[in-house]
Structure 1
Amino acid sequence: MDVATAPDIHPTMELDEAEAGATRERIVTAEEATQLAELFRLLGDPTRAQLLYALLEAGELCVYDLTETVQVSDTAVSHALRLLRTAGIVASRRAGRMIYYRLADVHVRMLLDLSREHLRHG
């Protein structure tokens, strides 16, 4: 395939400054891109993904219940939850000596739902 017929190259090989400028104004900033990359890195771990989907399905679970559900050690669950809580992906509440975890907000729920739907679509 030559350069003129390549689908990802502009046919005139000239910069459309208006289009490039308008697109540049709409894309995420470098700081937002860094934050998004960190979010997706956190979501990219299979154990953390399973924990998040367990919370999506159950609503709220303690470490012990998450350990039994995902079948990994309580140390691994606690470490994963600490990372997810620090990132604002999960929230927690204390009830006596127990700490219960849940998804932080509706946006996390939507992200997980859309991700699962995307997997099922393909």
Structure 2
Amino acid sequence: MDDSVYVGNAGRDAVLDQGWLLGHFKDAGDPRHSEAVEIKWGVHPRGDARARWVRGEQRTALLILISGRFRVELPGRTLLLEQQGDYVVWGRGVDHSWYAEEESVVLTVRWPSVAGYAVADGV
């Protein structure tokens, strides 16, 4: 087996690291280690919500709805992702929160992967 290749399943692997599949937090020898980008497979039951808003975000983010109905809260605006493939991008410094209106799966891509940066509730 080539150590520079990793084959997995997002649903199974996501439960091992709060949904995160790729980023600086993976071991340096793991092909999923990246200082450039973070990728998360988020599975959220209906009613799941962030414990509190993310403030002072240091990364740009892309969130894509895979299934369900997912609300993203940004300052002064609420966005509803309701069709597969709906997505939102926000830049550095944009505070945000979210709420799963239905059981939802979302793919999140954030960049850069900032070492030492974490939100208290782990999301």
Q: TM-score normalised by the shorter chain: which range applies?
A: under 0.3
Larger radius of gyration: 1
Q: TM-score, normalised by structure 2?
A: 0.21
Q: TM-score, normalised by structure 1?
A: 0.21
Greater helix percent: which structure?
1
Which structure's relative contact order is higher, taking Cα pairs within 8 Å and 6+ residues apart?
A: 2
Greater strand percent: which structure?
2
